Every structure is written in C-alpha cells, then in structure tokens.
Structure 1
Amino acid sequence: MILLDDSRVINVPVLDCGEPLAEISAMPSVTLDPRERDEAGEYGRVRLGVLERLCSASEELPPGIGFLVVEGYRSSIEQARRFALYEDHLWRSGVVDPIERHRRVSAFVSPVEVAPHCAGAALDLTLIDAEGIELDMGGAVNGHRTGEERNCPFDAPGLSDTASRNRDLLARALQRAGFINYPSEWWHWSFGDRYWALLTNAPTAIYGPI
C-alpha cells in the first residue's frame, strides 16, 4: 500500500484549479455528523467539484440509504495537531523508532504538506439508513483512535458478510463518481489531491493546500 508520506505522493505537482470551498449542508441528500465539529465550522466544507461528485455518488445508492459525512476540509493547523497527537500516542505505546513511528502515523494521519483534507479534497464518511442509523461497516470511522486499527483497512480480515457488503456499496457509489480510497481507512475518500493524481495517473493534482 502506498502511504501518504511516500515520496511519489509528495513529488506529484499541484496545479490548483482555484475552486472555492462549498457547504456540504447545501446538499439535502447528505447528512453532516457533528462529531468532528470545529469552532469555525470548517469541517462541513469541501471543494465545489468534490461536492458535485458526492451528489452524483448519492444517486448511486439504493433508496433509503444515504451518506453521513463526518468531515471534509481541515485546516493545516488542525492537521498538524492531529499528526502530533497520534505520533505521541504511538510513542507512549512503545514505538520508539522515529522512522517507524512516522510511517505508522501516516497510515492514518497525513503529513500536512500532502493532506487531502487540507486541500478540501477529502471526505470521511459512512452510510446511514432512512432513520439516520449508521450501517454496519465492520468498524467505526476513525477507529484508529479507539484501538480498532485492525478493522480500519478497507479490506480488513474477518469482516462480517453484512459489513463487507456495506463497504462494497460505499465503494461502488464513490468510485463511480471518481473518488479513490485511502486503503488503510475505509471511510476516507478523495478526489483531485496528490494521492488521487498518483493513483489515477493524472499529470497534476488539481487541489492543493488551502
């Protein structure tokens, strides 16, 4: 798996198209989850093109199933805070080698300079039913924070049939709209960032850090 701190990702050029951030709440078919709410309310925004693709993806879902967006745009300050916080967690857990620690942090929290969330290009999301209840995805969004790292990869072993079907449903809808998944986090999908450009052989990323 290619991690976000890989030199191939870092070396992808960025030619930002200049799209503004747009409010996810403006799209009635998508629900915003307040669990990652920040004081500025920035988590509920993404680039306009990302929002348009999310709208297209929602149309691929079966009746009664919708997206629950946990987080979109994230400031570079917040990204750096989360990187340092998880790095400290691993250090206190006994990961003393700095290179190994950086690699393991990057599996779940991107370095600021290439972070898709800081470009407004990424969404952390899951699926809900008509009652607003989250579907069984075999693990929580941001499960690495609560010791559920084993269940975080999209293809994590030991998933129930229900969780596997729900992850496949999520993937089909988002992939048809042009999104790519970060494989260590089943909930993380992006479009237009450096990681997307590398995996799709695009000549440049179209969204850079804001």
Structure 2
Amino acid sequence: MRPYYQIPIIECGEPLVQIPLELFAVESPHPYQKLGANYEGHSPYYLRQTVITNLIQAQNYLQLLHPHWHIQIFDAYRPVAVQQFMVDYSFREALRNRGLTETELSPQQQKEIWAAVYEIWAVPSLDINTPPPHSTGAAVDITLVNDTGEIVNMGSPIDEMSERSHPEYYLNSNQEYYANRQLLYSIMLKAGFQRNPREWWHFSFGDQMWAWLYNQSHPQTVMTARYGRLTENTHTNFQ
C-alpha cells in the first residue's frame, strides 16, 4: 500500500482536456500504443484542465532558461485497463530480461519480480480510494528536448525498472545527468507539481501523491486530493 493512499480525495469534477500538443514535444506514436495498449479509440494525450495550465507554465519557465527547449510528453491520462496492460507487459519483460519463464518461477522469484514491477508501476486498482495516479488525469511522464530536437540525457530511459530511475541516483556519480534531472524538477516544482520520489520523469498536480508530498514538505498544511479516478461517466469531454 502506497503511503499516499491515506490522503482523502475530494473530487472537484474538472474535466479531462486534450493537451495542446503543438506547444510541446511529443512521443509519437504513443509509446504504449506501440506496445499494443488499447485506448479504445481515444487519444492518450489528455489531462485535467488545471494540470495542462500548469504544464504550460512549466514550459514557459523552461524557455526563460533555455529558449527553444521543450517539455516532451511521454504519457498522460492512463485508463486503468492500460495500467493493467503495462503492469502485465512489464512483468513479462522482467521475466525475459532474466531469461525465465513464468512456469519455472519459484514463489520467491515471482515475489521478487512483482516487487520490481510495482516499484515503478502503481497497482491497477479499481477501488475509488486507491486510484493509480495516471488514471486520475493528474499525472504526466515527461522529459526535455533541446533546441536541436534531441532528447536531453537523463541517464536512464523512462519506465526503466532499476535504481537508476530514482531522481537522486546520479547525485554523486554524474553531474550532467543529475543537473538535467534537477532542471526538469525545478521548472515543474515552480509550476506547482510534485515529483514521484521513485521516478525522475513522473510529475503530478492535484492527486493523492501530490497532496501527500506537499504535506511532507509543509507539515503545517493538511492538503487533500482534488482529482480521483475518472470513469466513463465523469470524462465526457474525453474524445
């Protein structure tokens, strides 16, 4: 159980809105669609309205420091079904990387591999009290693209299941990678986002993780989440 699931959700009802992709760099086609994830004909590039507003603000902060650089959007709103697909895919990849098959796994090996998967991936929960962050429309996975269109080197790819994904991993070993991660963090923090402590690329605004992290750094505050899991009935603007 993630510690942020203790945070109450007071859903504000803000709609999902399509991200104005012309303002950002974008991974195309969407990386999970390339793997076979089914978004049921919808675009994956949606977020809550205020999250988009804040993301644009972060991009403006970036361009004050580095004109012509852009935030690149890797992933945004993720239905729970896609969360399940990616969890299952990552489990299979972890098996393949270890040269194992599921039928030959010992109980201990299975436990260790699932632990590695859930180090990165939230449980694809349908419980309204424990939604995966991306299924709220509040979380976005991003990196940076420089003025020549090259992805800025962060020292590890998005979604890598290893300690290199931890934001502080390169603090004492590679100042270039660490500085790039800190640049991304600084512009997002200034725009109101919080960063997943386990993933250099994952930022959110308004969900349980965001509120929990905010409360950690502001002990005098009791912040609640404003965005919960979206259902077919609550994201009518999703198209």
TM-score bin (small chain): 0.7 to 0.9
Structure 1 range deviating more: 134-143 or 82-91: 82-91
Q: How does 1:76-155 map to 2 (within 5 A)?
A: 76-90=80-94, 93=98, 96-97=107-108, 100-113=112-125, 114-144=131-161, 149-155=162-168
Question: Per the alignment, do residues 178 and 90 of structure 1 end up closer, same or farther by CA in structure 2, a change over 3 Å counting?
Answer: same
Aligned residues: 200
Q: Output the CA distance in 2 between the equivalents of 1:17 and 1:95.
A: 45
TM normalised by structure 2 equals 0.75
Q: Which residue is 1:30 aligned to?
A: 24
For 1:74, give the aligned amino acid. Answer: R
Q: Output the CA distance in 2 between the equivalents of 1:85 and 1:28.
A: 30
Q: Output the CA distance in 1 between the equivalents of 2:173 and 2:160.
A: 14
Kindly state the Cα deviation for residue 170 of structure 1 after the two structures are TM-superposed: 0.4
Per-residue CA deviations over 1:104-138 (Å, capped at 9, x if unaligned) read: 32220001233111001111100001232101111
Tell me, yes or no, if the aligned pair for 1:50 and 1:191 is still in contact at 8 Å.
Answer: yes
For 1:196, give the aligned amino acid. Answer: W
Q: Output the CA distance in 1 between the equivalents of 2:136 and 2:9.
A: 11
Q: Output the CA distance in 2 between the equivalents of 1:164 and 1:95.
A: 38
Q: Which residue is 1:67 aligned to?
A: 71
Matched, 1:174 2:188: yes
Tell me, yes or no, if the aligned pair for 1:95 and 1:101 is still in contact at 8 Å.
Answer: no
Kindly state the Cα deviation for residue 196 of structure 1 after the two structures are TM-superposed: 1.0
Kindly state the Cα deviation for residue 95 of structure 1 after the two structures are TM-superposed: 7.7
Q: Which residue is 1:42 aligned to?
A: 43
Per-residue CA deviations over 1:141-175 (Å, capped at 9, x if unaligned) read: 2223xxxx232111114652221111111010000
Tell me, yes or no, if the aligned pair for 1:36 and 1:43 is still in contact at 8 Å.
Answer: no
Structure 1, unaligned stretches of length 5 or more? none
Structure 1 range deviating more: 123-132 or 169-178: 123-132
Kindly state the Cα deviation for residue 27 of structure 1 after the two structures are TM-superposed: 5.3
Structure 2, unaligned stretches of length 5 or more? 34-38, 99-104, 126-130, 216-221, 231-239
Kindly state the Cα deviation for residue 180 of structure 1 after the two structures are TM-superposed: 0.9
TM normalised by structure 1 equals 0.85
Q: Which residue is 1:200 aligned to?
A: 214
Question: Per the alignment, do residues 90 and 143 of structure 1 end up closer, same or farther by CA in structure 2, a change over 3 Å counting?
Answer: closer
Please tell me whether Structure 1 or Structure 2 has the larger radius of gyration of its CA atoms. 2
Kindly state the Cα deviation for residue 32 of structure 1 after the two structures are TM-superposed: 1.8
SS of 2:144's equivalent? Answer: strand
Give the percent of matched residue pairs that are identical in Structure 1 and Structure 2. Answer: 27
